[in-house]
Amino acid sequence: MIFKVEGSRIRSALLAFALAGTASATFLPVTAAQAQTRTLPDFTDLVDQVGPSVVNIRTIEKVAQRGSSPEMDEEMQEFFRRFFGQPMPGAPRQGPRQNRPQQPPQEEERPRGVGSGFILTGDGYVMTNAHVVDDASEVLVTLTDKREFKAKIVGADKRTDVAVVKIEATGLPAVRIGDITRLRVGEWVMAIGSPFGLENTVTAGIVSAKQRDTGDYLPFIQTDVAINPGNSGGPLINMRGEVVGINSQIYSRSGGFMGISFSIPIDEAIRVSEQLRINGRVSRGRIGVQIDQVTKDVAESIGLGKAQGALVRSVEAGSPGEKGGVEPGDIITKFDGKPIEKPSDLPRLVGNTKPGTKSTLTVFRRGASRDLTVVIAEIEPDKPAKRASNDREEPAAKATASAAAKSLGLAVSDLNESQKKELKLKGGVKIEAASEGAARAGLREGDVILAVSNTEVANLKEFESAISKADKSKAVSVLFRRGEWAQYALIRPVR
């Protein structure tokens, strides 16, 4: 049997039942923490406060319109004349083709997409995602009071996915910017945007993680706030009504929300927006090194301790890194005194440094740390790495496979002068054959060994000396070059 009862009556009935059944029970005092867990957040005031600052963004693109051409009209008319003895019905009379002026191609405006944004300043600066306005020929901004404006794109930065557009209006309700350092995992947050074109849609959730590294230029705020296509560019708002992020990405296998969304931290976005408003573009620093992760095994084998820093795999010729003395195989552990915990920390710190600045790199090399000074350059498109070709002009040096080298599965030879010049190396030994432990470690013919167990090797003699001193009962660390890339390998003894 199904009963339909008003909610207030249900609550009264339950309360009476509870009081009747527990008349003799002893009630324990409710702590503040327990009371807080029983109270769900109320977002109504936040919506009233921040809602008017959130805008809907529509973009339009112009595409070439495929209309009927005079040539096709003439062909159809010729068809009718030949087979029916009359011109095509309703067709205007056409003069000779050569006497008709060429019609210019026509463009058609088509809706491109819908996104969100929020008002940064009362005089009309609006922040959104770069991918919302990318390649748009026209941007239309609609306020909550239904006023619509054509917006000018001030600047867009694809690396951070931040864009700023400007509308001609004054007295607009601007958002308040929050302090990202106060944002805590587990904190309630709210999003307002236009998912699937549905304007002024409010969703809420909690902060799932901070500093989430997704391989992009910025560390993201991860939340479980429902974000869908059209939410892009909208604000992520804390319980104080402050914007703490820009909703930018979702993790999805279906194209829709699956419980994981990512937002750009507002402090990083504001830094980018200021450059866009002043210069129309973002200037970033670079030092010209290619980096990789430092594994736990490598860190322990070379005496670094814990797995941290960024392993330098190659150094661009003529770059600030090369001029400052950075070498392939170095592990950068600090930038201007700030620790590098993982490889992605380095490009973010360098990128936020003004070009022309003198900065200090702390590198771990051959078992010891040292400081290097580099002058930061401005970032530019990455250059493709050149692979070193095998030199055939000079006779190859005779390979050697001593007992020590054989125990690691290696046969090596000295580099000739052409190979050193091409690889820009002062020395090293070239692997002629790799088997057993060396092969399992990933070494192969053509690789160049630069160091063994933190000892630099310039030639066969130094290589043999370093191998003979290495503890064969433990994994032997080998720094090697493959083309222009440097990396470590751990050759484990055969047990």
Note if 232 is an active site residue. yes
Catalytic residue among 53, 116, 194, 232: 232
**Is there a contact between 409 and 375 (Cβ–Cβ < 8 Å)?**
no
**Tokens, residue 52:** 């008017």
Note if 161 is an active site residue. yes
- Cα gap 229→196, rounded to integer Å: 6
Catalytic residue among 53, 157, 161, 413: 161
- E strands along 77-179, which residues? 106-119, 125-128, 138-142, 148-157, 162-166, 176-177
Q: Is 128 helix (H, G, I), strand (E, B) or coil?
A: strand
**Is there a contact between 81 and 88 (Cβ–Cβ < 8 Å)?**
no
- DSSP letter at 15 equals H
- Cα gap 470→59, rounded to integer Å: 64
Alpha carbon distances (Å) from 93 to 79, 86, 215? 15, 12, 64
Which residues lie closer than 8 Å to 315 by C-beta, 6 or more apart? Answer: 288, 289, 290, 321, 322, 326, 327, 328
**Residue reference for tokens 């794109």:** 153
- Among residues 242, 272, 94, 75, which one has the least CA distance to residue 175? 242
**Is there a contact between 122 and 170 (Cβ–Cβ < 8 Å)?**
yes
Read out DSSP for 244-266?
A: EEEEEEE--SSSS--S-EEEEEH
- Among residues 368, 263, 211, which one has the least CA distance to residue 305? 368
**Tokens, residue 138:** 């026209």
Count Cα atoms within 13 angstroms, Cβ side, for 31: 3
Q: Is 191 helix (H, G, I), strand (E, B) or coil?
A: strand
Note if 131 is an active site residue. yes
- Phi and psi at residue 54, to the nearest 5°: -95, 135
Would you name the residues annotated as active-site residues? Answer: 131, 161, 232
